[in-house]
Amino acid sequence: MYDRRQFMKAATAATALTPILPSGAFAETYPDREIHSIGMFPAGSGADVMVRFFSNRLAEMTGKPVIVDNKGGTFGNIATSFVARSKPDGYTIYIAPGSSVLAAAPSLFRTLSYDPVNDFEHITTLFKVTFIQIVAGDSPYKTVADLTKALKDKGDKGSYGSVANTGLVSSELYKKALGLSTVEVKYKEVQSMLVDLLKGNIEFCHIDPTSVLGQLQDGSVRAISTSSTQRISALPDVPSASEAGIKDLDLVAWWSVHVPKGTPKPIVDQLEVWFNKIAREQETAKWLATIGCDPYPGDAKLVRQLLDRDIKAWADYVKLANIPPLG
């Protein structure tokens, strides 16, 4: 039988052994059931395809189902709030455009039900995407100059559509740069906006290429510029914003992965390994290239750096574009 001295000696020895165990040992059973991947976009939308691609690859890698739960609305706030309130056990993950959701939210909304920096464990970056400015394929606007002239003539009778934060700010910066008084029309999802664009109810919008690949290919919409100072490799004939004469417009959205604050570090680390492996795969690079995106593997430190930078940048964007805060 152990006396007190022997017990303490044994306990100390056992404790001393603990640190030599690999960190993954604490999460070696993870995942042992399905993971829920929260999407901020409607099912079937172009951006939803991105969430599903990475969710499906994670399922293949882990051998467990990854179920995409779509919680669209309020520029991502519904989905983001849901994740922030979820149990921090690694079974709720958030694949989202961190630049235009987490980083932009403090400047775009009067109040938030979550802290975009401190209510999450930030896993890693995944890829980057530049938005494009589009008009209806049968419109008379062949260039940004054509569109600008028409919008100046229309004054506040002209309108543009917005769904995502990056598209909203890109359009407002375009207006600011060219001195336009075009009116914003908000949409909850991309398809309704595209219907109005094709009907001529709005003149243009800024949107991620993924959401309009089919329409670009069949000619029902026309891309006339990007939202950055560079062209997109997948759409080499589309002028950059600077080439089109739009000054001070250089917005590139980066997508990232997040889980609720307090998720165990071994699980966070394992998710980082898995997602970076997916982001670096040749298959992923090829797929991203077809939709105008570039791989952007990283880590939690990079996400925090980007958040810090872009939270400040979005404050300037919103001020420059005179965007009133949303409810």
According to DSSP, residue 38 is labeled E
Report the alpha-carbon distance of residue 209 to residue 216 in Å, rounded.
9
Neighbouring C-beta atoms of residue 110, cutoff 10 Å:
8
Amino acid at 196: D
CATH number of the domain at 34-128+253-321, please? 3.40.190.150
Would the pLDDT of 10 be above 60? no
CATH superfamily of 132-226: Periplasmic binding protein-like II (3.40.190.10)
Would the pLDDT of 23 be above 50? no
**The two domains 34-128+253-321 and 132-226 share their CATH topology (first three levels equal):** yes
**Pairing mode, strands 221-226 and 159-162:** unpaired
Report the alpha-carbon distance of residue 240 to residue 226 in Å, rounded.
5
9 band by pLDDT with thresholds 50, 70 and 90: very low
Residues 6 or more apart in contact with residue 75 via CB below 8 angstroms:
101, 105, 108, 164, 165, 168, 326
What pTM was estimated for this model as a whole?
Answer: 0.74
Neighbouring C-beta atoms of residue 71, cutoff 10 Å:
18
Would the pLDDT of 17 be above 50? no
Report the alpha-carbon distance of residue 277 to residue 183 in Å, rounded.
43
Report the alpha-carbon distance of residue 5 to residue 217 in Å, rounded.
78
Residue 190 in contact with residue 223, Cβ under 8 Å? no
What are 255-277's pLDDT values in tens digits? 999 999 999 999 999 999 999 99
Residue 184 in contact with residue 160, Cβ under 8 Å? yes
Closest of 124, 114, 113, 108 to residue 167, by C-alpha: 108
The ranges assigned to domains in the chain are 34-128+253-321, 132-226
Give the CA count within 13 Å in the CB-facing half-sphere of 34. 9
Closest of 130, 132, 131, 150 to residue 140, by C-alpha: 150
Angle, CA 17 vertex, CA 15 and CA 19 arms, to 5°: 90
Q: Quick one: 216 exposed, middle or buried, by C-beta within 10 A (0-12, 13-18, 19+)?
A: buried
Rg (CA), the chain: 23
Highest mean pLDDT among 3-12, 37-46, 237-246, 315-324: 237-246
**Quick one: which H or E segment has residue 251?**
none
What are 90-135's pLDDT values in tens digits? 999 999 999 989 999 999 898 999 999 999 999 999 999 899 999 9
Report the alpha-carbon distance of residue 17 to residue 247 in Å, rounded.
60
Identify the pLDDT of residue 27: 59
